[in-house]
Amino acid sequence: MNFHLRVWRQRDAKSRGKLVNYDVRDISPDTSFLEMLDILNESLVESGKEPVAFDSDCREGICGTCSLTVNGEAHGPDHPGAVCELYMRKFRDGARITIEPFRVGAFPIVKDLAIDRSALDRIVQAGGFISARAGSAPEANSMLVPKHDADIAMEAAACIGCGACAAACPNGSAMLFTAAKVSHLSFLPQGRPERERRVSKMVQVMDAQGFGNCTNTYECEAVCPAKISASFISKLNREYARAQFRQRLGE
């Protein structure tokens, strides 16, 4: 298969970027999208040109490192899945493919397609943990968790922290990410003692990082590779309202 690529090139955070055209030829349909970029980079290096910078690590949809906007869609056209799980057979032969970084004000571009998503780390650092000394792993049945709560906590814990939810949202909102991180702890007994402090701090840092608010467009849910449901945003809002109420009561 042959493809016409339009790739965002930007020297560094302060430079102006632009889309640059490249052709890639004789690509197997079973090549992954990131392998196709590797092939492009090999040919650029062979001809003495600067390769395209992009992020990846596990390349199997679990680490959340890859972060490309493909033809205007965060993670490309094969949802649910991260862009490292996208294969070239998803495109028609001869297709023109536009490749850009995630476009979110809170994720500054480092170079080309590589972005700085440490704003998400700062939200987690604000409260996405339990501070009790938990010791070694307890015997599995010593702390009973209702099946429904355990299932929902596991669903929320599936978030891989990729930031596609913010990239797809017209408001650049990170509420699906924050909702997943808040929910996975608040459904478990270990996370309950700090639930008010956790949600208040995480929402405060989320706002301070410049993410927008949710206006129920559901774009986040549509692109999320971990299938995190937008219903977790309702859970986040309930947790936040509960925390504010209890704070006002002086509890």
228 binds ligand SF4 per the rule CB under 6 A: yes
The answer to whether 163 contacts ligand FES (rule: CB under 6 A) is: no
Segment near ligand FES (CB under 6 A), from 44-52, 55-63, 112-120, 170-178? 55-63
Instruction: State which residue, 64 or 191, has the beta carbon closest to ligand FES.
Output: 64
Q: Does 174 bind ligand FES (CB under 6 A)?
A: no
Would residue 57 be called left, alpha or beta, if left means φ above 0 and alpha means ψ between -120 and 50 degrees? alpha
Q: Minimum distance between the CB of residue 75 and ligand FES, rounded to whole angstroms?
A: 9
Q: Interface with ligand SF4 includes 206 (CB under 6 A)?
A: no
Binding of ligand SF4 by 84 (CB under 6 A): no
Yes or no: say if 199 and 243 are a contact pair by the CB < 8 Å rule. yes
236 binds ligand SF4 (CB under 6 A): no
Beta strands in the chain (DSSP E): 3-9, 18-24, 68-70, 73-74, 96-101, 109-111, 114-115
206 neighbors 175 (Cβ within 8 angstroms): yes
What is the binding site for ligand FES (CB under 6 A)?
A: 56-59, 61-66, 82, 84, 160
What is the binding site for ligand SF4 (CB under 6 A)?
A: 159-165, 176-177, 180, 224-226, 228
